[in-house]
Structure 1
Amino acid sequence: MADNHDSTTENRRVLLPDAPVLVLGGDGGYWLTPDGEVAKTSVQQTAARVVDAPPLLIHRLNYARRLGINPFPAFDLLELYAFAFPARHCLPTARGLARALNLSPPGNPEEQTLLFFEATNSILKFLTGLNGKNRKEASAIAMTMGQAGWNWAPAVLAALGLPESRDRYGGLDAWRALPEWPDYAPEPPPDDIAVSEFEARERLKEMLGDNAESRPQQADFSALASHAFLPRDQADAPNLVLAEAGTGTGKTLGYIAPASIWAEKNGAAVWISTYTKNLQRQIDDELNRLYHDPAEKSEKAVVRKGRENYLCLLNFEEALQGGAAARTEQITLGLIARWISATRDGDMVGGDFPSWLLELEGRSRITRLADRRGECIYSACPHYRKCFIEKSGRKARKADIVIANHALVMINGATRPDDPFLPRRYVFDEGHHLFDAADSAFSAHLTGQETAELRRWVAGNDTGRKSRMRGLENRIGDLIGDDEAGAEALQKAIRAARKLPSDGWLARVRDGAPNGPMEEFLALIRTQVLARCKQPDSPYSIECAIGEVIPRLPEAADRLNKALGALSTPMATLGKVLITRLDEEAEDLDSTTRFRIEAAVQGISRRVSLNIAPWRSMLKDIEEPTPDGFVDWFAIDRLAGRDMDLGFYRSYIDPTKPFADVILKPAHGVVVTSATLRDNYEETESWQSADMRTGAHHMVLPPLRAHLASPFDFAAQTRIVVVTDVRRDHMKEVSAAYRELFLASGGGALGLFTAIWRLRAVHENIKAPLAAAGFDLYAQHQDALDTSTLVDIFREEENSILLGTDAVRDGVDVPGRSLRLLVFDRIPWPRPDIKHKARKKAFGGSKYDDKLTRLKLKQAYGRLLRRENDFGVFVMLDSMLPSRLASAFPPEVEIHRVGLKEAIALTRNFIAEKEQVLRKISLD
């Protein structure tokens, strides 16, 4: 806390704000005045009262959302906590704040109001103890934030004391104190020394420790995974292991064991890839078992994400420039400056940047500080040697374990096939998502947003606003130098790019006033979609097959193809000019200039080969049948009734083919694992779905396949119920069923939905009665909280209730009592869009639908049991569940088809019985 004492300490004091405390429950607001009076108001009364005087609360934006009003001024404890404890985890709830501050967790809303005063006092008291450099930096930032209107500033400055001095950045120049990344000699090529089954088992024992429970399946899994860490025998034929590891197997530590040994033996990293950022964090937490020393872990384990996830220091510096003109944003920038000084790796999305702060301060305000548009100028940047992105990349080259995600792995493989730093050993966790991840990575979208983005990347921002988005000329003009061919190509590329959509393109297209060949093409696509889709007024995205295109569309496609050719040719020339310079000036180029040139060539090549070339191919085919292996369509993307984008889309029918070509074949060893790789409907075909969804069927040699059964007793620990008398399309009935089942379980319940509108309808109907019964209800698409934060809250609050869609169904680990009931609104059949119809035709018709649906049900059911003593009830509110889908569940678990009354009683009795057993065990 205090690094040294100075004479100003005694002049500091805790100054509590003169503000009422507000806790918002589902049934209204609970108020505590500074005089100690407690009062309760209805939701409507609360909404009127909050605007009279700023209250003391937690997460004002979420309060505003729940009250149905615009954000209002408040003393938000989350802002105070983020200032005092940057980069330190805290759940954005009363109990989460209490745990973070080591205070007694509150119970009812009245107790929570008292906690808020106690928490405020605790945080401010901590700030009074800051001394030396920490105090000077914090007080300078607090003064700047106060001058911008931060209402916590008087209390914070009273605790810290006034700043002694501030420079032109008002103390927000946190980058000055960051260390530079060191230079290392190039890494030698890795060795290829095998890992044995015995070594994998022994490393697993070391990580688990002497007192760990015996889990033979986990040890067997670890031994199995070691086969991916043997030298391969044939080019384009990696040692591929497909391992379905049942719930509770402990697969994460199981594959970390052989992966870590191989990395240590061979001097190269193993990349562990998963589907979501939330799962990356879970794997990172598990690595604490391998690396007990945080300093060692920092060197040997690195979390890698796309560039758009990391803070760009140059963007941050430029956001500060302008002084008084930027006053409205200086509160947000002050909190970010505090975080910069404490962050592990600069990861703003899923790292140690508080996810609730993204929503609290405005997600777009914060995420625009990342490198979201490929505008990096690399070594020309004054912050290059302190750059979080560069530091992460360099650490990954020297690390043993790199935790990535499927999207990053595939993009890296597709754009950098000759990069010597690409890994050759992978573990793909949540392998059942590889098909969908590959679908996103290898599809082509010729849309307004994509082409407008390309225009900005090449030609820069021509709106006149101060911005670093000045295009290729700014980024590589000095690299071209006096080369006349290069300078001419650059100007041609800029002129060609300016024919692509500029700001305001969507409104012009919608209003029938397109400007340029791309906007004219989009206007005609919009006409065809609206004319041929079934529901043109739908608030959701709409689409149509290409078929016989409307008049004038072929001519517009031809003009656009020529315009893209006029851009592609000079960009390719630019790439050749830069490559030539690398060759001809090899002796004279310093390493930073060489790296800038290589990065520029990679960026140009990526956009020519992965964007423009596929787009031109699509345009040439517009009057021809879609090429074999692909599916094409036109679509208008909508969000809540608003058009967001539109264009021409192409996907592989089987996207695991490019995945196999780009990632699997160049690799030497790959583990693909999940609890839901196989479809168990027909035993003779059980691995067929695994091969198809992972790309294994494209390999020369067959994979090593194995299923490791879960150690859990599903028949004893779970119940499966299909409710037969609730009409699934009558939302009042569905809502009543959710409400009564949640009450029967006493919370600890997850409600899953197949559509956002159904979730919202149920949420609206059940929030008041559940609040009156004392339950906290959280929901995706309703609360101003991101999914990972909602899941974290649900995990910590044992009796809370969470409503969500696919993102909380897949791969989320919620052990213990926090999840004892899972209710599904209806059978999660695939959405019958054009892309799915093409795949359904190619992959077996209705059997393909059944297969996908069984895998979704299997994944959802698997959420219930994560630890030995877990238990739970799975309820399907769709009486139409056919028996052929039942193989999604363990065969030993009986499926009870009963009415709602019996389902409620079964849920209540089963959970009560299991909790009684657990209480008895704890007493013994």
Structure 2
Amino acid sequence: MSALAPLPALHATHGGIWLATAEGTRALGRGEAIAQASETPTIVLNAPLVAARLGLSELSGLDLLELYAFIHPARFVVPTPAGMARALGLQPPADDGSAAAFLRAATASLLAMLGNRDWPEREGAWTGAQALGRLRWPWANLVAPLIEKPAQAERWLFSKLPQWEEAPPRPDPRPYRLSDEETLERLAQLVGRDAEPREGQRAYAASAARAFDPRDAAGRPHMVLAEAGTGIGKTLGYLAPASLHAAAAGGPVWVSTYTKALQRQLAAESARVFPDDKIRREKVVIRKGRENYLCLLNLEDALQGGFQNRAAVLAQMVARWAAYTRDGDMIGGDLPGWLPTLFRRAGSTALTDRRGECVYAGCPHYRKCFIERASRASDQADLVIANHALVMILGSRRMDEGRPLARIVFDEGHHLFDAADSTFAAALTGQETIELRRWILGPESKARGRRRGLAARLLDVASYDEDGHRAIEQASAAARELPGDGWLGRLAEELPLGPIEKLLAAVRSTTYARASAADAGYGIETHASELDAGLIEAAAPAAEALEALVRPLARLRQRLQAVLEDAPDWLDTAARARVEGAIAGLVSRSQTLAAWIALLARLGGPADPDFVDWLAVDRVEGREFDIGLHRHWLDPTRPLAETVLKPAHGLIVTSATLRGGEDWDVAEARSGALHLDKAAVRFAAPSPFDYAAQSEVLIVTDIKRGDTAALAGAYARLIEASGGGALGLFTAIQRLRAVHARIADRLAREGLPLFAQHVDPIDTGTLVDIFRDDPRASLLGTDALRDGVDVPGESLRLVVMEGVPWPRPTVLHGARRAAGGGTAFDDRIVRARLAQAFGRLIRRAGDHGTFVLLSSATPSRLLDAFPPGVTVSRVSLEEAVVRVASRLPSVASLGHQGAGEGISEQA
């Protein structure tokens, strides 16, 4: 502790602030704490969060999380004192008052690891510490002297990473029909021979197996719609036949989810299918969009001076992680979700391929690329775990290539409609057009970085092919008509440049003129109908500008295809891959341009009954950040059916709330099964849980709508009654923030930590990890928490909703409401949301809890959203508090529930 002797540690919560030094620990006020943190190097845990507790915009300190990320890259830790204690094998602090002293002990433990010969992440640490020292990383002076200089130079990251290997194309899967006997035998192996048989799970697996039968005719896939109540064990129910089919037929099965949480759960469950880690790495691949993975070329640029200040420190941290990561996934993978937030995400997005500028084989790190490795691994895998959006994009692309995704399981199938809605939409906005301009032209200012335009990325091809070179020049000239830097400011000053900016200026003017919520500070929109002459007149030159861009891009694509066909001497395997990648990018951009032109052609004319069009100005707290026109399919499952469902051989669409309390017609409509010639197999199994004994629903009748003080008081009293363990759900961020501000300090004084989305500077996944880890903590959030939280056990024993989750009255919703039955359409949405929210409460057989809805005007017709047998009572707040306290166990009896522990309902 000698190096630590002069270093104090600061711990701040809503309940107080404590400072620990070598002399002991004392409480102090906010002013003194701010002075301490600004004048003396101070140890903290999660500097952005501590800054928020102190009321500061930023805090510079010795952040223990940064030290942990340097010493143990690619290792998980819950970013709390208790979580850090368990990760380091130390005794957790008994209370907030002792947490500051614990931070000093944790720091000593971490620093001691630097001299440990058995430190598994030693390689690269000395070099990394030297680089961080040059960047004046606060920990560098403590860390660098403790790391022994290696006898020989450490391997540079880019020479250390393994190369992926080319593999021959996989033959088409063999037709194979699973019997019920082998499916159930496989299920028994996965759940364990000693596990109690669950008839619902067995019936589910047998039904799911029919999706893997050989297809009878093209365009007529076997589709299984399977609703499996919580506790059935649907994950292993479909993994049993899926893994059998993949092995027997020799083809992959794609398992698609809507949330990253379920992706992580599926990755864990796959250990039951392939217990050997080495085999599992070959047989199971998590596949995400390119923007999720670390781009090694971007990282190299950042390490060589492309980033400055804190962003440069983050790049060094990511480089440490890259040497130990499993797959290079920066979003939801083994990069701690809290790491980018420590740097306020400075530079983290620039380390991924978000701009579509990949040069493929032209990159010096191509053979070590995480993205390419995942893509190739998925071609050879048995199980590919992906997300709905990626599956839809790949399905559409592979359909055009004649190699569709043959077997797909859509878990969280109740979100299939929403995922298709986003995937097949079009948005002609300022942000989208300026991205296209940059993709073609590259950087046009003094911005640092490796960004390159189309000409630079295809320089050698252009020099080989004169027509291709001319097409690039013409595309570059046409791209200069797209919005450029500063476009928002020019529109605000009514000084637009070019036809697209003039169109956006007209959109902005029309939207403000029509929108009734113009003064609310949030996004506004209006129908794209009965438009004024100025907007219609602006559409024609804008369309001409886009068409002037389409032509050279189409010509360039033709020339690139000709290069592939002619196969010049320099076109080796790597060069071919780069040309193919460029063609794929051109196809994608051309499709976007075609959608934009179609949208403009409709302005001023009759509405297309298949689409919903509107104008929008996107704002955050009154600040504009985008403007444009939007087009969505009225029924997005139509393109889903054409590009993904019909080309497939077999599909499973499954969820605990697939029907949302409605009949099967709703499930068929929202899954796309309605558009198939062959009828889908229907399967439903109710949850085995005794909801009537394990839970109840309380509707509080004496909270006045719009009374924020009363709403906050209700949340505080209910959380106090439950001793924490509460998930609070809101339909508006503004109300969430207002409630949090009123009750966080009060609850903290009772020893009940409160965290919140859109308030705490922590990513949502980490917030859920913290909530799951501490049975006395509570979490406030919005839709993402209503749909994607799996917290079994005592950590979640109370769900409180601020009101009935009615859909927002947007232009798109209004059109679908009119086509879908008016009030009945709204009711279906609300029932599904209530069912999902209630589903957070009981995740395993031993769970108990209460669901509270703070809305006296809740219509009785919606209450069938809750499981049959659950008692629904309309009560006063006073009675609700008593009943919550009486149903739940005493806080003193709550055992620790570590993050990631507990038996999932899926198993």
Identify the TM-score tier after normalising by the shorter chain.
Answer: over 0.9
> 1:247-326 to 2 correspondence within 5 Å?
247-322=230-305, 326=308
Distance 1:838 1:134 in 2: 56
2:311 and 2:346 in contact (8 A); partners too: no
Distance 2:878 2:455 in 1: 70
Instruction: Find the counterpart in structure 2 of residue 233 from structure 1.
Output: 216
Instruction: Find the counterpart in structure 2 of residue 828 from structure 1.
Output: 805
> 1:630-779 to 2 correspondence within 5 Å?
630-680=611-661, 686-779=663-756
> 1:562-601 to 2 correspondence within 5 Å?
562-585=544-567, 589-601=571-583
- Select the residue among 58, 63, 79 that pairs with 2:66: 79
Shift in CA distance, 113/574, structure 1 to aligned 2, threshold 3 Å = same
2:198 and 2:232 in contact (8 A); partners too: yes
> 1:25-36 to 2 correspondence within 5 Å?
25-36=13-24
Q: What is the deviation of 1:111?
A: 2.6
| SS class of match (1:402) | strand
2:310 and 2:343 in contact (8 A); partners too: no
Shift in CA distance, 616/118, structure 1 to aligned 2, threshold 3 Å = same
- Select the residue among 539, 547, 565 that pairs with 1:557: 539
Q: What is the deviation of 1:133?
A: 10
| SS class of match (1:552) | helix
Distance 1:357 1:694 in 2: 37
- Select the residue among 862, 885, 890 that pairs with 2:839: 862
Instruction: Find the counterpart in structure 1 of residue 143 from structure 2.
Output: 156
Instruction: Find the counterpart in structure 2 of residue 871 from structure 1.
Output: 848
Deviations 1:275-322 (A, max 9, x none): 022221111111122222221111111111110011111011111223
| SS class of match (1:818) | coil
- Is 1:612 the counterpart of 2:593 in the alignment? yes
Distance 1:520 1:319 in 2: 37
Deviations 1:800-824 (A, max 9, x none): 1000101011132110001100000
| SS class of match (1:781) | coil
Shift in CA distance, 711/571, structure 1 to aligned 2, threshold 3 Å = same
Instruction: Find the counterpart in structure 2 of residue 69 from structure 1.
Output: 56
2:398 and 2:405 in contact (8 A); partners too: no
Deviations 1:684-735 (A, max 9, x none): xx11211121111111111001111101001000011000111131011011
Instruction: Find the counterpart in structure 2 of residue 223 from structure 1.
Output: 206
1:679 and 1:687 in contact (8 A); partners too: no
2:404 and 2:648 in contact (8 A); partners too: no
2:700 and 2:880 in contact (8 A); partners too: yes
Instruction: Find the counterpart in structure 1 of residue 336 from structure 2.
Output: 354
Shift in CA distance, 143/563, structure 1 to aligned 2, threshold 3 Å = same
Q: What is the deviation of 1:626?
A: 1.9
- Select the residue among 190, 195, 198 that pairs with 2:181: 198
Q: What is the deviation of 1:54?
A: 2.7
1:739 and 1:770 in contact (8 A); partners too: yes
2:660 and 2:835 in contact (8 A); partners too: no
Gaps of 5+ in 1: 1-12, 920-924
- Is 1:455 the counterpart of 2:432 in the alignment? no
Give the letter aligned to residue 779 of structure 2. L
Distance 2:565 2:123 in 1: 50
Distance 1:857 1:322 in 2: 50
2:698 and 2:874 in contact (8 A); partners too: yes
> 1:203-214 to 2 correspondence within 5 Å?
203-214=186-197
Distance 2:416 2:751 in 1: 41
Distance 2:451 2:803 in 1: 47
Distance 1:586 1:894 in 2: 74
- Is 1:98 the counterpart of 2:85 in the alignment? yes
Distance 1:437 1:767 in 2: 35
Distance 2:119 2:811 in 1: 63
Instruction: Find the counterpart in structure 2 of residue 6 from structure 1.
Output: none
Shift in CA distance, 592/51, structure 1 to aligned 2, threshold 3 Å = same
TM-score w.r.t. the length of structure 1 is 0.94
1:779 and 1:804 in contact (8 A); partners too: yes
Shift in CA distance, 421/797, structure 1 to aligned 2, threshold 3 Å = farther
| SS class of match (1:540) | coil
Instruction: Find the counterpart in structure 2 of residue 344 from structure 1.
Output: 326
2:525 and 2:617 in contact (8 A); partners too: yes
Gaps of 5+ in 2: 897-907
Distance 2:771 2:894 in 1: 23
2:417 and 2:637 in contact (8 A); partners too: yes
2:703 and 2:711 in contact (8 A); partners too: yes
- Is 1:908 the counterpart of 2:885 in the alignment? yes
Give the letter aligned to residue 151 of structure 1. P
Shift in CA distance, 917/407, structure 1 to aligned 2, threshold 3 Å = closer
Larger displacement relative to structure 2 (416-425 or 787-796): 416-425
Distance 1:539 1:415 in 2: 39
Give the letter aligned to residue 190 of structure 2. M
1:144 and 1:330 in contact (8 A); partners too: no
- Select the residue among 590, 611, 627 that pairs with 2:608: 627
Instruction: Find the counterpart in structure 1 of residue 345 from structure 2.
Output: 363
2:257 and 2:386 in contact (8 A); partners too: yes
Distance 1:636 1:777 in 2: 34
Larger displacement relative to structure 2 (177-186 or 829-838): 177-186
- Is 1:147 the counterpart of 2:142 in the alignment? no
Larger displacement relative to structure 2 (626-635 or 144-153): 144-153
Q: What is the deviation of 1:588?
A: 7.5
- Select the residue among 438, 461, 469 that pairs with 1:487: 469
Q: What is the deviation of 1:44?
A: 4.8
Give the letter aligned to residue 91 of structure 1. V
| SS class of match (2:17) | strand
Please provide the CA RMSD for this pair. Answer: 2.0
- Is 1:510 the counterpart of 2:492 in the alignment? yes
Q: What is the deviation of 1:525?
A: 0.6
Distance 1:840 1:732 in 2: 34
Distance 2:2 2:148 in 1: 11
1:461 and 1:469 in contact (8 A); partners too: yes
Shift in CA distance, 212/155, structure 1 to aligned 2, threshold 3 Å = farther
Distance 2:866 2:239 in 1: 28
- Is 1:111 the counterpart of 2:92 in the alignment? no
Distance 2:404 2:110 in 1: 45
- Is 1:180 the counterpart of 2:163 in the alignment? yes
Instruction: Find the counterpart in structure 1 of residue 10 from structure 2.
Output: 22
Give the letter aligned to residue 613 of structure 1. A
Shift in CA distance, 129/508, structure 1 to aligned 2, threshold 3 Å = same
Would you say how many aligned residue pairs link Structure 1 and Structure 2?
A: 896
Shift in CA distance, 315/910, structure 1 to aligned 2, threshold 3 Å = same
Deviations 1:643-692 (A, max 9, x none): 110100010111111111111000000000001111335xxxx1121112
Distance 1:779 1:547 in 2: 40
Larger displacement relative to structure 2 (129-138 or 352-361): 129-138
1:480 and 1:578 in contact (8 A); partners too: no
2:461 and 2:468 in contact (8 A); partners too: no
Distance 1:914 1:851 in 2: 37
Instruction: Find the counterpart in structure 2 of residue 429 from structure 1.
Output: 411
Shift in CA distance, 766/716, structure 1 to aligned 2, threshold 3 Å = same
Q: What is the deviation of 1:546?
A: 1.9
2:286 and 2:386 in contact (8 A); partners too: yes
Distance 1:172 1:572 in 2: 44
Q: What is the deviation of 1:134?
A: 5.7
| SS class of match (1:720) | strand
| SS class of match (2:683) | strand
- Is 1:386 the counterpart of 2:374 in the alignment? no
Distance 1:724 1:918 in 2: 34
Distance 2:315 2:720 in 1: 43
